[in-house]
Amino acid sequence: MPVKKEPGSVSAFERKRLDNIASNLSLLTEAAEVAKKVIVEKPATRPAPSKRSSRPRPVKKPAPRPVRQSSRLAGLEADNETLKRKLEVEAESQAEEARTRKLRVSDDLKLGDIAVAGKKWAAGLNSLQGLVRGAQPGVRTFTEDDIKETTDKSLKELRERMGGLKLYEHWTPNDIKITPQRIYSLGLHPTEDKAVIFAGDKEGNVGIFDASQTPPELDDDDNVMSDPEISAFKTHSRTITSFIFSPADSNAVYTSSYDSSVRKMDLAKGTSVQVLAPSDIDTDMPISAMDMAHSDPHTLYFSTLDGGVGRYDVRRAPGSEEIWALSESKIGGFSLHPLQPHLLATASLDRSMKIWDLRKISGAGDLRHPALLGEHESRLSVSHASWSAAGHVATSSYDDTVKIYDFTDASTWLAGHDLSAGAMEPRHTVRHNNQTGRWVTILKPQWQRMPNDGIQKFVIANMNRFVDVFASDGSQLAQLDGDGITAVPAVAHFHPTMDWVAGGSGSGKLCLWQ
């Protein structure tokens, strides 16, 4: 009969068996831990791709970067001649790259050597102006009914005369591709014998069109058989911003550019020489506009994209120019009073139009500047400020207005008094779409400098593919149009004395009304 055990009591044999089981489990656990450290765990296998995507997606690899070679690993010591030459080559390469970015044409040039090959330009940019906000191509904002309903007899006659200007008929605007790229600046030569138009584009090309050319031959279907003759030269390396014709020399044409230089073309000699540029080629001084007083053909005035206005006498040595910091923002346009050139009007990205007196320059160093007579602030940036011979200032602003200020009271200027806030308020404000967007050059009003008829008037492009003509009292005189205009003639200018108007587009095409 077996012996009964007391509850909780364990025999010696059972105790030994349990100890063996615990010892074996401990050995197995230690073995598993050691195996994890020695054997690398295999990644989980991917499921087989489905039938819809049997091809694995390509993995985008980053673009390879140049690997810097270690001179130490290459076995070159610090004073090794090979290493020194290597560092010199790298330094020269970096300097050349920097010079290329800021390259400008500084040598004297012969126009015959820099003529752009070919007389027929490429097609250029597509017409994208219809995509610009608010533009309605072909929709007139001033019609013949406005002229018919004019009750003032003299105004009606003026409107009929200006509205009677006709688009140049020998070639259509699409045939007169005066520059290969977008036109940024225009100038009409002062000669009254014929219309000669100069255009500058964003890549530094100058195009010249003589409107007195012999009419083209036509085939049996009245199609033009020949292209217009256009002289083209690459005188700058960046955008050409202004043309100035010397009042003392009809063959001298000055051009300014974003490449920080001003050059002088001599039409008689066929040359182009640099007259102004920073002495250090690494100095960037993009010139946004330029002007010259009719009474002083030796002094150039220019504005810069960093808010400066400068003065330079072309008879003096390079580096003698004086530059005044007149704004903390870009000065996009400025002008001198045609008859009182000591009066300067500036337009800035800081939303202001300011009047300065160049007779009173005070301060020293960077604080030296002309006397500020008055300023007016618009809701948005002001693109240009243009003086009329009578003393009006016309501005264009991104607040979709053209403002006309009246400073015709000469006694104020002669006394040199500061202008009151009331005097700086615009006399007339005209609603005008100035939203040029990315593909259209900024719209700027340009007065007829010395009109033969004595009537003060200016032109500014219309985003609906016209050119608007306004009088100094804000009344619209005409809206110039014609067949074949497929882009906004954004850069519009009057001839200084004749009723000739030119307009240049983003595709390098020229419109001319006479």
What's 254-307 look like in SS3?
EEEECCCCEEEEECCCCEEEEEECCCCCCCCCCEEEEEECCCCCCEEEEEECCC
CATH of the domain at 412: 2.130.10.10
Does the pLDDT of residue 298 top 90, yes or no? yes
Task: Look at 49-58, 112-121, 148-157, 164-173 and tell me which has the smallest mean pLDDT.
Answer: 49-58
Assign 111 a pLDDT band (cuts: 50, 70, 90).
Answer: confident
CA distance readout (Å), 498 to 18, 187, 451, 472: 121, 13, 7, 17
- If residue 460 lies in a helix (H) or strand (E), which one and from where to where? strand 457-462
| Mean pLDDT to the nearest integer, 495-501 | 97
Assign 428 a pLDDT band (cuts: 50, 70, 90).
Answer: very high
Does the pLDDT of residue 185 top 80, yes or no? yes
pLDDT for 281 equals 74
| Mean pLDDT to the nearest integer, 457-473 | 97
Q: What are phi and psi of 401, to 5 degrees?
A: -135, 155
Residue with tokens 């279907």: 221
Reference 434, options 459, 394, 462, 458; nearest CA is 462
Assign 128 a pLDDT band (cuts: 50, 70, 90).
Answer: very low
pLDDT for 226 equals 82
72 part of a folded domain: no
| Mean pLDDT to the nearest integer, 309-321 | 90
Collect all residues with Cβ–Cβ distance below 8 Å to 225 and sequence separation of at least 6: 216, 217, 218, 219
Does the pLDDT of residue 154 top 60, yes or no? yes
Cβ atoms of residues 393 and 354 within 8 Å: no
127 part of a folded domain: no
More confident of the two residues 411 and 362: 362
| Mean pLDDT to the nearest integer, 144-161 | 91
| Mean pLDDT to the nearest integer, 363-386 | 94
pLDDT for 24 equals 63
Q: What SS3 class is residue 1?
A: coil
State how far Cα 459 lies from the chain centre. 20
Tell me which residue range forms the domain holding 329: 144-214+227-513
Q: What pLDDT digit, counting tens, does each position of 194-211 carry?
A: 999 999 999 999 999 999
The two tokens of residue 350 are 């800081």
Cα four-point dihedral sign 126, 132, 138, 140: negative
Long-range CB contact pairs, 418-426, < 8 A, 24+: 418/372, 418/373, 418/374, 419/355, 419/373, 419/374, 420/374, 421/374, 423/374, 424/355, 424/374, 424/375, 424/376, 425/376, 426/376, 426/395
Number of domains in the chain: 1
Cα four-point dihedral sign 455, 165, 482, 168: negative
CA end-to-end span of the chain: 140
56 part of a folded domain: no
pLDDT for 312 equals 95
Q: What SS3 class is residue 445?
A: coil
Task: Look at 22-31, 299-308, 422-431 and tell me which has the smallest mean pLDDT.
Answer: 22-31
272 part of a folded domain: yes
Assign 504 a pLDDT band (cuts: 50, 70, 90).
Answer: very high
CA distance 423 to 418: 10
219 part of a folded domain: no
| Mean pLDDT to the nearest integer, 13-34 | 64
44 part of a folded domain: no
Cα four-point dihedral sign 298, 200, 340, 266: positive
Q: How many CA atoms lie within 13 A of 373 on its CB side?
A: 22
186 part of a folded domain: yes
The pTM of this model reads: 0.76
Assign 438 a pLDDT band (cuts: 50, 70, 90).
Answer: confident
| Mean pLDDT to the nearest integer, 172-196 | 95
Q: Concatenated DSSP letters for 364-385?
A: SGGG-EEEEEEEEE-SS-EEEE
440 part of a folded domain: yes
Task: Look at 18-22, 231-235, 447-451 and tell me which has the smallest mean pLDDT.
Answer: 18-22
Task: Look at 117-131, 318-332, 458-472, 479-493 and tell me which has the smallest mean pLDDT.
Answer: 117-131
Task: Look at 40-49, 155-164, 371-380 and tell me which has the smallest mean pLDDT.
Answer: 40-49
Q: What pLDDT digit, counting tens, does each position of 62-100 carry?
A: 444 444 455 555 555 555 666 666 666 666 666 555 554
Assign 410 a pLDDT band (cuts: 50, 70, 90).
Answer: low
| Mean pLDDT to the nearest integer, 441-454 | 96
Assign 51 a pLDDT band (cuts: 50, 70, 90).
Answer: very low
Please give the share of the chain, as a percent, with pLDDT higher than 90. Answer: 60
